[in-house]
Amino acid sequence: MPRPMTITEKILAVHAGREEVHPGELIIARVDMILANDITAPLAIKEFERIGAGDVFDRQRIALVPDHFTPQKDIKAAEQCRMMREFAKRHGIVHYFEVGRMGIEHALLPEVGLVLPGDLVIGADSHTCTYGALGAFATGVGSTDVASAMATGECWFKVPESMKFIYYGRLQRWVSGKDLILHTIGDIGVDGALYRAMEFEGETISALPMHARLTMCNMAIEAGGKSGIIVPDGITEEYVRQRARRPYNLYKSDPQAEYIEVREYDASKIEPLVACPHLPSNVRPARELTHISIDQVVIGSCTNGRYEDLEEAARVIRGKKVNPNVRMIVIPATQEIYRKALKEGIIETFIEADAVVSTPTCGPCLGGHMGILARGERAIATTNRNFVGRMGHPESEVYLSGPAVAAASAVMGRIALPDEVL
């Protein structure tokens, strides 16, 4: 009988063809999906060709998503995307997503059913850990590892130790997955889960809708985590059943599985939070920051650009105007989210409020385009990182929040709570 294992260890063991694995072991495991974007794919493509790989291992198991600098912002970005496009065409890669059909990668792949429970997924982007919300082991790797995996269908891993985070209690109004993960990162720090699998559970998690779970797992990397993961349940199955393009497997942690650390949180005491510059762990209640004026609001990204995030922001800003001293940028994470928001009148709500709505792109999140900050400017954003210079000038500042606080701040011209404007 194999020893009791966590969901992470079970997925890694199955993909390594083993009965069991142990934390700290180095293994070679097959991968179910490989992902790269317009910044990281060109590096992987060059390495793929340098090692003389003849063809990709499976043209159905690779996804190439130009989303960071697209629509192409300059000649260099255009050349990067052309390299991806030509590589996809040359190797018959099925899942290449061109502008007009693309989305922000970590919102797009779950939406179209390319990542599923029980999968082992690697991506040349640190927020690949998002897919753990579906009960998959998903992690970011380097472009050279992606090149090797595209050729062989395998990748090496050090089996991570697992940490368990248990949340109980009913959430306050306007509190969601973003606040839960900010609270957690604020508690353990940006290296508190270094190279560990962060497993989220408890009655609060069981009640969370899928979009909030995706947000939580998305930011596991901001705590140093190798991955974030939630054991699949009825909410997971309801989400994937209508999207899955292939069979999937549901795994769960054994009751006697070992964890390096277990932390519990009374989620009913968590209030709307904001991460202050220049670390995602520099977390304070939004109510303590209402004296901070802002120049820009960004609602979007792989963290909070889903339909439910846009709908939450629209509920706050409907019938109001963006403060004349503020720029508000709204970025639906995929074309499908954009279409649904348009159909439901959410896009109109933002435009009537004097916000601008962008095509899907990572854009301002990484200081790429569509909302760069000048010296001394401040933004509040639903994105995931607020490091020095992350959204533009090194002397600019980024505050991180959920959609409701961001939308309220756009109206007030300063960090604000939703109830201040409703």
Phi-psi region of 156 (alpha: psi -120 to 50; beta: other; left: phi over 0): beta
CATH topology of domain 7-245+259-264: Aconitase; domain 3 (3.30.499)
Q: Do domains 7-245+259-264 and 272-421 have the same CATH topology?
A: yes
d(CA 39, CA 126) in angstroms, rounded, equals 12
pLDDT band at 88 (very low <50, low <70, confident <90, very high): very high
Q: Is omega for the bond preceding 71 within 30 degrees of 0, making it cis?
A: yes
CB 379 within 8 A of CB 300: no
Phi-psi region of 168 (alpha: psi -120 to 50; beta: other; left: phi over 0): beta
pLDDT band at 1 (very low <50, low <70, confident <90, very high): confident
pLDDT at 53 over 90: no
pLDDT at 245 over 90: no
* 3 state SS of 109: helix
Q: What digits encode the pLDDT tens for the residues 369-383?
A: 999 999 999 999 999
d(CA 264, CA 227) in angstroms, rounded, equals 19
pLDDT band at 50 (very low <50, low <70, confident <90, very high): very high
Section 233-253 average pLDDT: 95
Report the chain's C-alpha Rg in angstroms: 21
Question: Quick count: other Cβ atoms within 10 Å of Cβ 52?
Answer: 7
d(CA 384, CA 311) in angstroms, rounded, equals 19
pLDDT at 244 over 90: yes
Section 11-25 average pLDDT: 97
Section 220-233 average pLDDT: 98
Section 247-262 average pLDDT: 96
CB 99 within 8 A of CB 66: yes
| pTM for the model | 0.96
Q: What digits encode the pLDDT tens for the residues 278-324?
A: 999 999 999 999 999 999 999 999 999 999 999 999 999 999 999 99
* 3 state SS of 77: helix
- CATH class as words, domain 272-421: alpha beta
Q: Beta strands 26-30 and 154-158: pairing type? A: antiparallel
Q: What digits encode the pLDDT tens for the residues 320-337?
A: 999 999 999 999 999 999
> Helices 177-188 & 210-218, crossing angle to 10 degrees?
30
d(CA 104, CA 130) in angstroms, rounded, equals 12
Smallest CA-to-CA distance from 297 within 329, 331, 332, 323 is with 329
Per-residue model confidence (pLDDT) at position 91? 96
* 3 state SS of 33: strand
One-letter identity of residue 14 = V
d(CA 206, CA 202) in angstroms, rounded, equals 6
Place of tokens 């992350």: 390
pLDDT band at 243 (very low <50, low <70, confident <90, very high): very high
CB 401 within 8 A of CB 309: no
Q: What digits encode the pLDDT tens for the residues 381-391?
A: 999 999 999 99
Share of the chain above pLDDT 90, in %: 98
CB 143 within 8 A of CB 36: yes
Q: What digits encode the pLDDT tens for the residues 187-210?
A: 999 999 999 999 999 999 999 999
d(CA 334, CA 81) in angstroms, rounded, equals 18
Share of the chain above pLDDT 70, in %: 100
Q: Domain map of the chain by residue range?
A: 7-245+259-264, 272-421
Q: What digits encode the pLDDT tens for the residues 101-152?
A: 999 999 999 999 999 999 999 999 999 999 999 999 999 999 999 999 999 9
Per-residue model confidence (pLDDT) at position 54? 87
Q: Is omega for the bond preceding 278 within 30 degrees of 0, making it cis?
A: yes
